[in-house]
Structure formats: C-alpha cells, structure tokens
Amino acid sequence: MSRMVGALVLAASLAACEPIDIDDGGGGGGGGNVLFTKGFVFVRGENIYVADDDGDPNNPKRLTTTGGASQPAVSPNGRSIVFVHQAGTGTELQTVPTDGSAAPSTLFSSGAAGCTNCGNFRYPTFNPAGNVIVFALTRGGSNFALGRVNADGSGFQVLTNEPGTSFGAPSFFPDGQSVLAPAGSSSTQLTQLARVPLTGGAVTSVANNLGNEVLWVVNRAVVSPDGRQVALDGRLSSGGSRIFVGSLSPYSPPTRVTEHPGESGAQDTFPSWMGTGQVGFLSNAGGATNIYRVSIPATTVGPGTLLVPSAGDPAYGGT
C-alpha cells in the first residue's frame, strides 16, 4: 500500500462513543481490484469499505450500498465483516464477505428470540477463532451490557448483568476466553477497564482509573496481539482525545503516543493494533477524517503516516 504523510491538525470535535459521519463523496464505488486479506475496514457515507494493505487506499472496495452501517470489524481470516446496521428504529448485526461476492445478510437482530428488550447494538468484534462475536447492547435501560452470539447467529448470551455499570467496545485477549472492555457508571463515563469472560462468569477489574491525563475512554480500548499492551483513545480535560498505550501485564497507566502542539481540541480515536509495534487510528486532520499510523513506543508529535483518506469507524484485521 502506498503511504502518504499528513499533518494531524484537527478542527472539529467528536461526540463521545459515537461514530463520525463521513460524506461518501461518490468515491470508492465498488473499486479495489486487490482481493482483501489484511488491512482496514471502515465506513464512508454509512457504507462499508475495505482497503487491503497491498491495494490502493484511494480506491477501496465498497461492500454495501444501502447505508445505515457503522462500527465494522474484520474476521481473523480476513474473509468476513461484521457491522452494526440501523434497521428502522432498531439495530442488527450484519455480515458481508470481503470479496464482495454476496450482499449483506442479517446475523442477529434486536428483536430476536432470547433478546428481550435488546437494542442499540454497538462495537461487534470476532474472537480469534472467528466463530464467536461479542458486542455491546442495551437491555431496556441506558447502560450497555456485553453479549455474545455465534458467527452463524445462534447461541446468544448476555455476558454481563451489572445494571449500575456500562460497558464499551470489547477486545479479545489472545486466548479467546475473555475480552477487555472499558467500563464505568454510564456510556459516556468509561473510566475503568474490565475483563469479561465468555462463560458469563464474574467480571474482574483490570484498572479502576486510567491515569492522571485520561478522563475516560472515548470509543475503545484494544488488546495488543501478544496480550501485553492496551491502546485506547483517552478523553483529555481540554476536550480533545489522544491515543494512549500502556502495559497490561502487569497493568500500568497508559501514556500518550500521539500529540499535536497547539491543537488542544484535536481528536484521535478508534485505535487498532497493526502488529505489536504499530497502532492505526482515526483523525479528522485538516478537516478530513483519515486513518493514520504511529509506531510504538515512541510518541509521534505532529505529522503521522496517513494510510487511508476519508474514512470513519476503522478497524484493522485479517491474515
């Protein structure tokens, strides 16, 4: 993939825990001649696109055309995408193959049997084996629980039952037996990190606070491929957000890895690990929302590596 360098100069603010709305602009349109195996999946104009590492980031492949899509994730083998689809007043999880060989299909809907009072699906993600999806959902209240469903739509189960706690985007530990998730008293105050087992067992605390700089997690906290680190998008007291990385084993408060002097309101969000030494993330640099990359552990000040232009809700994956 050709790489471009862009300044991380940001003007607009991001609402916490909400995807950025990206204008389609007519670009992409079913392009992308490289078969997707590994790279970014993202949203543009409320449709799902993929950009393979070996493809042209200016000509991504569009996988959906009807809109209403957000928060995609790619399966570990790179063959399938799961995403949230707005269906009328409800939400559902849909899947679509990355090669564009079939239209999206509904995996699980908020009106499904066994999902009483379910709604507001968010942040689906595959387990390392690719046969289970964990996601956030509401159950009649304003706080979010975590649920799981098999990749064929069967076996739905609620994993958390803590009405006083809201959970954010889940991220699997390498063994696939549990997920890391931001947690807090409300969906906009995710000030802790929790470990949630797939068995529905007891939730355990990983961190009760996120350090002096981070007020809360904006969108997600993700486990590194080796399970030793966490990357998160931390809200600052200035109203901006930055990407932070810290140790998970043992846990230590994360430190900034992106910085923009003179841009206190700059927004860096939606981190994804690209191996153990690189993190991809979203920034609305120069008035356009793009995907960038930084190397770990050094802090990137000013320009970063621009990977994919005009994107939203990115996630990295495949093999």
pLDDT, position 191: 98
Length of the chain, please?
319
Provide the domain limits for residue 281.
4-318
Give the tokens for residue 102.
């079939």
pLDDT tens by residue, 254-312: 999 998 888 888 899 999 999 999 999 999 766 678 999 999 987 777 657 999 999 99
* Cβ atoms within 10 Å of 110's Cβ, excluding its own: 18
> Between β-strands 258-259 and 300-301, what pairing exists: parallel, antiparallel or unpaired?
parallel
The CATH number covering residue 111 comes to 2.120.10.30
Residues above pLDDT 70, as percent of the chain:
88
pLDDT of residue 166: 97
Q: Would you state the pLDDT for residue 303? A: 56
| Alpha-helical segments (H) within 152-296 | none
Confidence at residue 242, expressed as pLDDT on a 0 to 100 scale: 93
**Weakest-pLDDT range from 28-37, 114-123, 228-237:** 28-37
Q: How many CA atoms lie within 13 A of 276 on its CB side?
A: 7
**Spatial distance between the Cα atoms of 158 and 139, rounded to a whole number of angstroms:** 10
Q: Which of 44-48, 85-89, 214-218, 308-312 comes out lowest in average pLDDT? A: 85-89
Predicted local confidence at residue 24, as pLDDT: 45
Please give the average per-residue pLDDT across 189-214, as a whole number.
Answer: 95
pLDDT value, residue 300: 77
Q: What is the H or E stretch that residue 273 is in?
A: strand 268-273
pLDDT at 289: 85
- Predicted local confidence at residue 297, as pLDDT: 85
How buried is residue 204: exposed, middle or buried, by Cβ count under 10 Å (0-12/13-18/19+)?
exposed
* pLDDT > 90 fraction of the chain, expressed in percent and rounded: 75
| Range from 139-153, 163-177, 201-215, 253-267 carrying the lowest mean pLDDT | 253-267
Q: What is the mean pLDDT of residues 179-197?
A: 97
Contact yes or no for 314/42 (Cβ under 8 A): yes
The closest alpha carbon to 259, from 314, 304, 210, 310, belongs to: 304
pLDDT band, very low/low/confident/very high, at 5 (cuts 50, 70, 90) = very low
Distance CA 272, CA 290 (A): 14
What is the count of structural domains for the chain? 1
Calpha distance 237→234 (Å, rounded): 10
Tell me the pairing of strands 157-158 and 105-109. Answer: unpaired
Structure confidence at residue 153 (pLDDT) = 96
Q: Reduce the DSSP state of residue 118 to 3 states and report it.
A: strand
